[in-house]
Structure 1
Amino acid sequence: MSTIASIDVRQQAYQTTLASWLDANAEALDVEPSLAREVLPQLARAGVFAIGVPPTLGGSGGTIVDAIETVAQVAQHSLTAAFVVWGQRTFIEYLLQSDNTPLRDRWIPALLAGEIAGATGLSNAMKFLSNIESLQMRATRHPDGWSLNGSLPWITNLRRDGFLAAAAFDHTDGTLPSIFAIPHNTGGVHRSDDLDLVALRGSSTAALKVEGTVLGEQYRISNDAPAFIARVRPAFLGLQCGMSIGLARRALSAVAETGGGTRAAIHAEATDIEAKLGSETSRLLNGVADGSFLQRPASLFELRISLAETVSAAVGLEVQAAGGRGYLREQGGTARRVREASFIPIVTPSLVQLKGQLALHERANRS
């Protein structure tokens, strides 16, 4: 796994170890929760979460583009691990873009070290921003800050050993919605058992409920949720797209590793998919880097949809190339990648939701 140039030799050794560990445990991470506690420390030791974080805050430098590429690199080995990276690194990005400096300074070191999990519970808020659904959480003024109530049915990286979960709350007094960082050990915070997923079972994915949880200003990430969500959406979706990029790359690599006759038969299809993936990746990274997705979110939605289609095509081609061998367990990971690829269209915001938003956008432009 290569990374930005600022990573030292020792860190590169940790990343080589990480790649080996992920390859050895990718199947277990996908089908059972037994290694869920080990994922975050393994990733942290390799410096994965520090990429794109300023050195002044303990990071290794670089930009959010480097972080997206890192998610893609991890996804080539395990989509479960990449899903965890997405959750942790996206939460870190929230703190980097927050005006709450004390909150950032207090928690960034522990997040980078993997001592606590960062859970991005803003999927509901992203859908709220796009008028897909209302906010599911409520905040009421309290002498010590705000009393928080509500539930979110699906959050990844809710690590049992400790987490901070970001969630957006509607205010009962009519003020702008806020985003809070919710510590796992605060009164009224309840984590469900792990969800009974068909795959990605090592990702510590669970439901979260808060009942009368009282938090003060020190835990408020933003006092203007709509503006903040719009600002972080390119990073949120960009890091998410890194999962698609990495999975598609790995499927195409598997195709390239098949016998000569098989490769020759599907060479044209593989070349087309690879070219499409390269174009989509460049457009994604350039759009995130230059900020153009802030003004053109529809373009980012289109890319997310297009990348999901590319993943489906790449994994489908791998299935053809693997033949009957790919239908056997423990035979090169083809079956696992089919399961992983089935998750890409439904991760929030889902392709159906994005297509609905694009249809509304097109109708608005015509009117």
Structure 2
Amino acid sequence: MLDLALSQWLDTHAEGLDSGSSDPQEVLSQLARANVLRVGISPFLGGSGKNLADAVEILAAVASHSLTAAFVLWGQRTFIEYVLQSSNFALRERLLPFLLDGKLAGATGLSNAIKYLSGIEALQVQGSATEAGWALNGGLHWVTNLRRSGFVVAAAVENTQGGTPFILAIPGSTTGLQRSEDLQLMGLQSSNTAALDVVQAEVGSDWLLHEDAHAFLQSARPAFLGLQCGMSIGLARRSLQEVEEHLQHDRSILLETLLNQRWQLEGMVSELKRGLLNGRFREQPAALFCLRISFAEAAANAVQLELQASGGKAYLDEHGIGFARRWRESAFIPVVTPTLVQLRAQLQR
């Protein structure tokens, strides 16, 4: 499914992307070169066709090689989805070609907003109207794909004058927008993940993605979470593939467990695709929340099974470097926003 050159590049750089020794500037360029950013987008808009379910599969394929690269892809592709769903057609025409070419990095910035929609936390960016647009203050504590050579970030903004919260695209060059140094993560360090501080940042009205944050977030949430599930799917599939290779030797007792996990995983993948394509998750977000939790658990179970199948070799640097990375990657899946704890709390409500 993936371009051979991209697959080889990801395999070569997977460890470096995780540890931060590989250039984070290169990730998006490699993804764009292989045209993975265009999947699920109409050819009339510069895409390669197919649908959102196909975009999930592409993201899963990347994640099977490197979760860092998949995390960057998720940020870029989700921001592209925001632009596609925006009623600001002039903004779409201005940004989309550069986003698809990988020349401009798109950062979702709406993790806080997704939690806000679920009643988990308040919006972290406030805006007051000016003659040309808005003056913004606040901050975003964890944003991925803030590439130093150029980015645009989506943010939900609380209207300090009492109006409806709205969604803005904020260019990285905006005066008053300050990017921190990259966050020191346990892994995924070449993902351009940082914090943003917003102090009297002036943004024009031509950067408005949507005038109603509630309506926009409800519409965008299926793509946000659905594409996010692709990371778990790819990681789980890769670990189960590793298990299968180990079982060719002396641990065939795990074969039944392998087959059961694979069967359950692919059943959930089919359910996810159906829900994304028939619009079910817009009306029944709880069903998508449950799937997101189940995929995270499937990834954790697959990595654990890989450990059992590989035995002591997994604990040796010489043999277990790929497994160690997948173990760290599996630890990230439950805490990416919205976290599993936040999703379970929302389901209880």
TM-score exceeds 0.5: yes
Match among 245, 256, 270 for residue 282 of structure 1: 270
Match among 237, 245, 249 for residue 225 of structure 2: 237
The alpha-carbon deviation at position 33 of structure 1 amounts to: 4.8
1:150 aligns to what SS in structure 2?
strand
2: CA distance between counterparts of 1:134 and 1:153? 13
Match of 1:343 in 2: 332
Report the CA distance shift for 1:262/1:233 in structure 2 as closer, same or farther (over 3 A).
farther
Amino acid at match of 1:51: V
2: CA distance between counterparts of 1:22 and 1:34? 11
Match among 178, 202, 213 for residue 166 of structure 2: 178
Match among 121, 124, 128 for residue 116 of structure 2: 128
Deviation readout 1:16-40 (Å, 9 max, x if unpaired): 1000000011011001153201101
Match of 1:143 in 2: 131
Deviation readout 1:87-107 (Å, 9 max, x if unpaired): 000000000000000100000
2:338 aligned with 1:358, yes or no? Answer: no
2:241 aligned with 1:253, yes or no? Answer: yes
Match of 1:365 in 2: none
Identity among equivalent pairs (%): 54
The alpha-carbon deviation at position 56 of structure 1 amounts to: 1.3
Where do 1:172-321 residues align within 5 Å? Answer: 172-321=160-309
Amino acid at match of 1:28: G
Task: Give unmatched runs, 5+ long, in structure 2.
Answer: none
Amino acid at match of 2:235: L
2: CA distance between counterparts of 1:162 and 1:62? 28
Amino acid at match of 1:135: L
2: CA distance between counterparts of 1:20 and 1:231? 36
Deviation readout 1:59-87 (Å, 9 max, x if unpaired): 11111111111100100000000000000
The alpha-carbon deviation at position 331 of structure 1 amounts to: 2.8
Match among 10, 13, 19 for residue 7 of structure 2: 19
Match of 2:89 in 1: 101
The answer to whether the 8 Å contact 1:255/1:263 transfers is: no
2:155 aligned with 1:167, yes or no? Answer: yes
Match of 2:63 in 1: 75
2:140 aligns to what SS in structure 1?
strand
The alpha-carbon deviation at position 259 of structure 1 amounts to: 4.4
Amino acid at match of 1:67: A
2: CA distance between counterparts of 1:262 and 1:348? 39
The answer to whether the 8 Å contact 2:13/2:22 transfers is: no
2:196 aligns to what SS in structure 1?
strand
The alpha-carbon deviation at position 330 of structure 1 amounts to: 5.4
The alpha-carbon deviation at position 210 of structure 1 amounts to: 1.4
1: CA distance between counterparts of 2:247 and 2:174? 56
2: CA distance between counterparts of 1:345 and 1:139? 32
The answer to whether the 8 Å contact 1:322/1:334 transfers is: no
Q: How many residues of Structure 1 are paired with residues of Structure 2 in the alignment?
A: 348
The answer to whether the 8 Å contact 2:144/2:194 transfers is: yes
Amino acid at match of 1:27: E
1:260 aligns to what SS in structure 2?
coil
Deviation readout 1:274-296 (Å, 9 max, x if unpaired): 01101110111110010001110
The answer to whether the 8 Å contact 1:33/1:204 transfers is: no
1: CA distance between counterparts of 2:37 and 2:233? 18
Match of 1:34 in 2: 22
